Amino acid sequence: MPVKPLSANPNLEHLRYQARDLLREHAACDIQAAQRIREFHPRFQNADDSAIFTSQLQLADAQLVIARERGFASWARLKRRVEKPTRADDLSLPQHERIEDKVFRQAVDLLDAGDSAGLAAHLRQHPNLVHKRVTLEGGNYFRNPTLLEFTAENPVRRGTLPANIVEIAKAILEAGAKDDSDALHETLGLVCSGMVPRKCGVQVELIDLLCSYGADPAEAMYPALFHGEFEAVEVLLKHGARLDLVVLAALGKIEDFRRLLPLATAEERHRALAAAAQFGHADIVELLLDAGEDPNRYNPPGAHSHSTPLHQAALAGHETVIRLLVARGARLNIKDTMWQATPAQWAKHGGKTQIDIR
């Protein structure tokens, strides 16, 4: 779920009021409140709405949700940001300009310049640098990146990558990053879900490189799918990622989907509905609804969980899917948790003015 960025001059008392509002919404069994709690409170990560509503929620719990949905690990971290902001907290700056560690920042500058020789020398001088992480709170992701993750240009900082980025990534890996499995997996996910590596013509090469060093193609599959990076999906499949129910739903492979559906878990069916609605595969949406999937349930984490299947179908203009979901009980008044907009408003935002959702 995307986070809600803090305003330029956040007010801590206003944030406290938001936590109290969340407590009241929880007490009123508001399904949007349940989704926010499930997404941002670790204790409720796998809980359904009824379990969340019957749980006792304290003010500290609500404050944790408020902090995490703004990209901070805790209320204490959010409070520190409001009271004592630093350059690293300035979300108007690109991520590399928020780095306060001068040694790390120099490495990123050398990477961005395509100076492989200079970067190699810098890494020899600072051999522990490839294992360091910088803290960049307040955003959707990329909050504790290693140097390797900057090779993905995701989030977009400069809008381009040096022509020799694959060579640079290999140098960072050989300098010790290859031993950090978390950084490998995270970087692969960023490469596979990022438009800049694709537009620069290096996405496939970077995927091949990272997988050759042990990055897990399965962990990058859903980020690639739900960002519509289908070329990356095909490469991940070649590297051994599984063609599971969710992948089949996104690709619209109806016969294989029909075969696997009876064996699917509840989590797979939920995620498959999100994928099929987003990419307009009405036949698969119908199979999932027939299997008991709820069209009014918010999408799962990693699948645009701030929205419902109807929001995603409306944004993309998939009229057949929209009509099917509405006919099967999809509510038109459910608002997304990020912008508080209905599916009809999402269609309008997406330029799909010909679509009448009612």
pLDDT digits (tens, 9 = 90+) for 64-121: 999 999 999 999 999 999 999 999 999 999 999 999 999 999 999 999 999 999 999 9
pLDDT digits (tens, 9 = 90+) for 239-248: 999 999 999 9
Does 90 reside within a domain? no
Residues 146 and 20 in one domain: no
Domain total of the chain: 3
Instruction: Report helix, strand and coil shares of the chain as percent, to nearest 5.
Output: 60, 0, 40
C-alpha closest to that of 344 among 320, 313, 305, 298: 313
Q: What percent of the chain has pLDDT over 70?
A: 100
Q: Give the relative orientation of helices 12-27 and 75-83 as an angle to the nearest 10 degrees.
A: 150
Residue 358's pLDDT is what?
Answer: 75
Residues 60 and 102 in one domain: no
Residue 240's pLDDT is what?
Answer: 97
Instruction: Work out the average pLDDT over 199-217.
Output: 98
Residues 255 and 278 in one domain: yes
Whether 3 shows a pLDDT value over 70: the answer reads: yes
Residue 130, domain extent: 95-242
Higher local confidence (pLDDT), 112 or 2:
112
Does 358 reside within a domain? no
Residue 54's pLDDT is what?
Answer: 97
Residues 229 and 155 in one domain: yes
Residues 228 and 280 in one domain: no
Residue 330's pLDDT is what?
Answer: 97
Residues 109 and 201 in one domain: yes
Q: Classify residue 303 by its DSSP letter.
A: S
pTM: 0.94
Residue 145's pLDDT is what?
Answer: 98
Answer with the one of 43, 61, 85 that is the final residue of a domain: 85
CATH number at residue 213: 1.25.40
Give the H/E segment covering residue 47: none
CATH number at residue 268: 1.25.40.20
Answer with the one of 190, 215, 242 that is the final residue of a domain: 242
Instruction: Work out the average pLDDT over 198-208.
Output: 98
Does 208 reside within a domain? yes
Residues 193 and 61 in one domain: no
Contacts of residue 128, defined as CB under 8 A and 6 or more positions apart, other chains included, come to none
pLDDT digits (tens, 9 = 90+) for 212-230: 999 999 999 999 999 999 9
Residue 1's pLDDT is what?
Answer: 65
